Amino acid sequence: MFCILSLNHDICVSAFQQNITIDDTNGDPFTGEAFVYTPADLWTIGQDCECPPGINPNEIPSSTWHVSTFSAEEPNIRPNATVTFRGTALYVYCILTAAFADSNMTFYLDGQPIGSYSYSFVEEEQPVYHYSVPVIQLGSLSDENHTFSLINGLTSAAAGRQSLVILDYIQYT
């Protein structure tokens, strides 16, 4: 914090960065921005259906999550979650499990592809979950409004594979 003395008045200005969380269900507590899920019928509010089975809500901030499955039978329909924020950094957190299907995500910022994340299916007796996994981290963004999208499924040669995404929250600075 620094103060400027001007015209016999003390003016204090505070300049600090903080991380703001946009929850998958509750949205941004400061701006009210919330995720838009499309197609809406391909996203499920996880805590309402307790899916996939075995997720521990106590391990999840706000105990909320959204689930989508990309179907190999309909490769042209890719579920996406989109949200707008203003910040210079972005961190996206998901819950991962390899017990049900691969997780294949592609990320877009302001309409441009910025990366991808894959996690491979492994058959297990009990589902093992990994909570608050950062699937993409971006820094040095311009300080302006940005639109972020997470797209479930692949469009490449591996597009025929099923993909499960469990979105938890994002943070921006």
pTM for this prediction: 0.87
**Which residues have CB under 8 Å from 162's CB, separation 6+?**
69, 70, 71, 72, 101, 102
Does residue 58 fall inside a structural domain? yes
Does residue 7 fall inside a structural domain? no
Nearest-CA neighbor of 148 among 59, 67, 28, 15?
A: 28
Q: Is pLDDT larger for residue 145 or for residue 49?
A: 145
Question: Residue 90 belongs to what domain range?
Answer: 17-172
* pLDDT digits 0-9 by tens, 37-94: 999 999 999 988 878 888 999 999 999 999 999 988 888 889 999 999 999 999 999 9
Confidence of residue 146 (pLDDT cuts 50, 70, 90): very high
The SS3 assignment for 145 reads strand
CA 81/CA 68 separation, integer angstroms:
10
The two structure tokens encoding residue 167? 């979105």
CA 38/CA 82 separation, integer angstroms:
8
Does residue 110 fall inside a structural domain? yes
Does residue 12 fall inside a structural domain? no
Query: Has residue 173 got a pLDDT over 90?
Result: yes
Confidence of residue 15 (pLDDT cuts 50, 70, 90): low
Contact indicator for 83, 94 with CB cutoff of 8 Å: no
**Which residues have CB under 8 Å from 40's CB, separation 6+?**
none
Confidence of residue 7 (pLDDT cuts 50, 70, 90): very low
What is the DSSP annotation of 7-31? TTEEEEE------EEEETTTB-TTT
* pLDDT digits 0-9 by tens, 90-140: 999 999 997 888 899 999 999 999 999 999 877 766 778 999 999 999 999
The two structure tokens encoding residue 71? 């179907």
Query: Has residue 13 got a pLDDT over 50?
Result: no
Query: Has residue 12 got a pLDDT over 70?
Result: no
CATH number, domain containing residue 166: 2.60.120.260
Most distant CA atoms of the chain, gap in Å: 72
Indicate the burial class of 89 (C-beta count within 10 angstroms; 0-12, 13-18, 19 or more). middle
Number of structural domains (the chain) is 1
Does residue 1 fall inside a structural domain? no
Does residue 46 fall inside a structural domain? yes
Residue 112: the pLDDT is: 98
Q: Is pLDDT larger for residue 9 or for residue 90?
A: 90
CA 3/CA 101 separation, integer angstroms:
55
Does residue 3 fall inside a structural domain? no
Does residue 2 fall inside a structural domain? no
